A and B are shown apart, each in its own frame.
Chain A
Amino acid sequence: MTTLTAPPRPKSVAPVPARRGPRKYGKALTYVALTAGAIPTLLPFVWLLRSALMQDSQMFIAPPQWIPDPFQWSNFTEALTAQPFGRYFVNTVVIAVVSVVGTVLTCSIAAFSFSRLRWRGRNVVFALLLSGVMLPYAVTLIPTFVMWQELGALDTILPLTVPSWFAGAGGGVFNVFLLRQFFLTIPFELDEAAYIDGASPWRVYWTIVMPLSKPAIIVVTIFTFIGTWNDFLGPLLYLNSEENYTLSLGLASFQSIYITQWGYLMAASAAVIAPIIALFFFLQRYFIEGVTLTGIKN
């Protein structure tokens, strides 16, 4: 995280001692303000966990209770077995993994072509592809749905995964852009040396550019994974039978059935949130880098 921390101020700047007083107050004020912001940010999480572990009878006491007594762990087991959440989890993982592999492979291949191979019309084609990012998803929604319907692919994972194998078609083009920007920073001498040794472009892509682009690939992986994991409209449109549901779809249907069973609902929500939060803590550095990258490169 050192890259994001501001460099220390040179000690020689004169006015510092004179301002020690107000600056100290300012610092304290900063922490007060941050804490004041952190409380409402964290409160919903506390509310979620507290409700997930509470008996209904205790949940409806006023003023609100904060510590579950007893800890109702059975909320989790009962909620997660009331509907086949294990199945939903597997479905979601399958869709996410197939999408991530497709996106990373085809987007990086395209990015390699657009950044390191010279061919006529390259920049025009690239600009055209990028313009697709501007298109609201609502415009392509209906014809795409009709297309999958005609192909008899409704209620399969195809509509949710195949686009990612075409360089993440639609909004996924952004990944091509991101990877291309990264590829442009790798010295071109490496390619030239390899070509002199008789390497093919594929070999240059696979053995030189890809191994040097791990940070960018991890960023694309994380964001594609999260995007697929969180997607709701896609599964809602394309998956009908319960055994094919994803976690998001399963949770929505669970919510509509157990509409007042707050303990179950919060337990199920917590279980859906947990994997993403865990992923974040493992890959924190890349998350922040990724968000930063997406913001700054524009």
Chain B
Amino acid sequence: MAALSGQRRLERRWGLLMALPAILGFVIFTAGPMVASLVFSLSDWKVGGSLEYAGLDNYARLGGDDLFWQSLGSTTYYTLGAVPLVMIVSFAVAMLLNQKVRGLAVWRTVFYLPTLVPAIANVVLWIWIFNPDFGLLNSLLRQGGLPGGMWIYGESTAIPSLIIMSTWGFGNTMVIFLAGLQGVPRHLYEAVSIDGGGPWHRFWHVTLPMMTPTIFYNLVVGVIGTFQVFNQAYVMTEGGPNNATLFYVYYLFRKAFRESEMGYASALAWVLFMIIMVVTFLMFRNARRWVYYEMAGAR
């Protein structure tokens, strides 16, 4: 028994020691800044000025800030467009690839390739694709006898254009869907076939219910990620035209690092945090109604 307690002591000592970098990292780079950010948001701190308590002034100011509402609207519009579109395209392609196609690895590589393009190279490439004079899209449209569009340079077309662009990178979501599809037990399909059910029955009564956990995962990750869109606004549109693509994090970035309003920008950050918390909470609560877990708690 003495040996065991010696072992226990050894594990306790080493356990804490080895977890220390992670714990310190959490304190220094997550918990600390989180508290600091909350403190900043309650101050009227501007770079170069002193930190003075301002209560909820920043938050009150948000209500009357048209650009705040504008950025919230743009970001919501973008998220509501991009997330479902990416999910539908990914799911459809994953279904196709799950049909025992020949050359699966090649197809998968083709569809995965765009996700590998570094964000800024992606943005530069799409600026050229969207170019109204000689870009790929308008060139093709004109060749087909159609009028070209203004794409990211038009106030009403800017966000739809960015949604199209985001759809190009559906590969990650697709690979996750594909793995989910390949995990659906085959005997369920066979049971439907034996009962005389066709492809539609197989899809509606087996594939879709069995895929709901994967769909839910991609939905949550997609919404949280998309809501924090930044690069496109910074490099492609600078929030324009006429603030049409003034995305939330870009607006926050401008307030903090261009206008040096650290206090106000911190309030923006906390409002973003709250929004993401509430939306995630709602998604999880709603999930009980449609997400099917074969063995509750198994994951």
Q: Which residues of A contact B (CB under 8 A)?
A: 1, 4-7, 9, 13, 15, 26-27, 30-31, 33-34, 37-38, 41-45, 47-48, 51, 59-60, 62-64, 106-107, 109-110, 112-114, 117-120, 122, 125, 128-129, 132, 134-147, 163, 165-170, 172-173, 176, 195, 200-202, 205, 226, 229-230, 232-233, 236-237, 247-249, 251-252, 255, 262, 265-266, 268-270, 272-273, 276-277, 280, 284, 287-288, 291-292, 294-296, 298
Contact = CB atoms under 8 A, between A and B. Distances in A.
A262 B149 CA distance: 19
Nearest to B139: A64
Contacts of A134: 276-277, 280
Contacts of B253: 233
A140 B23 contact: no
Contacts of B168: 41, 44
Contact of B116 (A165, A273, A288): A273
Taking each of A45, A170, A172, A232, which has the highest tally of chain B beta carbons within 10 Å of its own beta carbon? A232
B101 interface: yes
B34 interface: yes
A45 B168 CA distance: 11
B1 interface: no
Given A141-B269, A295-B180, A205 B18 contact: yes
B67 interface: no
Given A118-B8, A169-B25, A291-B175, 8 more contacts: A30-B99, A117-B11, A119-B12, A120-B12, A139-B269, A139-B272, A142-B262, A143-B32
Interface string B212-239: 0010011000001000101100110000
B141 to A, nearest CB: 11
Interface in B175-209: 175-176, 178-180, 182-183, 186, 190, 193, 199
Contact of B29 (A13, A110, A144): A144
B40 A143 contact: yes
A109 B128 CA distance: 45
Contacts of B218: 295
A110 B128 contact: no
B10 interface: yes
A41 B111 contact: yes
Given A139-B269, A295-B180, A41 B110 contact: yes
B296 interface: no
Interface stretch (B80-88, B118-126, B151-159): B118-126
B127 interface: yes
B242 interface: no
Q: When A and B form their complex, which 8 residue pairs have the shortest distance between CB atoms, in order from nearest?
A: A166-B25, A295-B176, A119-B15, A169-B29, A167-B22, A169-B25, A143-B36, A117-B15
Given A132-B30, A247-B118, A291-B175, A138 B180 contact: no
B21 to A, nearest CB: 4
Contacts of A31: 101
A30 B273 contact: no
A153 to B, nearest CB: 13
A33 B96 contact: yes
Contact of A37 (B26, B111, B217): B111
B296 to A, nearest CB: 16
Contacts of B175: 288, 291-292, 295
Given A34-B101, A41-B111, A47-B136, A136 B179 contact: no
A87 to B, nearest CB: 17
Contacts of A145: 256-257
Nearest to B216: A298
A5 B115 CA distance: 22
Given A237-B257, A255-B235, A139 B273 contact: yes
B246 interface: no
B12 A137 contact: no
B26 A132 contact: yes
Contacts of B18: 109-110, 112-113, 117, 201-202, 205
Given A45-B113, A266-B125, A295-B218, A272 B176 contact: no
Nearest to B6: A195
29 contacts: A5-B104, A30-B99, A34-B97, A41-B110, A48-B125, A62-B134, A113-B17, A117-B14, A118-B12, A119-B19, A122-B19, A134-B277, A134-B280, A135-B34, A138-B252, A141-B252, A143-B36, A143-B40, A147-B33, A166-B29, A170-B29, A201-B11, A232-B119, A248-B118, A255-B235, A280-B112, A288-B108, A288-B112, A295-B217
Taking each of B18, B37, B126, which has the highest tally of chain A beta carbons within 10 Å of its own beta carbon? B18
Contacts of A43: 136
Given A51-B128, A265-B128, A41 B114 contact: yes
Given A42-B110, A119-B16, A295 B179 contact: yes
B163 interface: no
Contact of B34 (A114, A139, A230, A237): A139
A268 to B, nearest CB: 8
Contacts of B133: 60
Nearest to A121: B16
B56 to A, nearest CB: 17
Interface string B144-172: 00000000000000000000000010001
A110 B257 CA distance: 34
Given A37-B93, A47-B129, A168-B25, A273 B179 contact: no
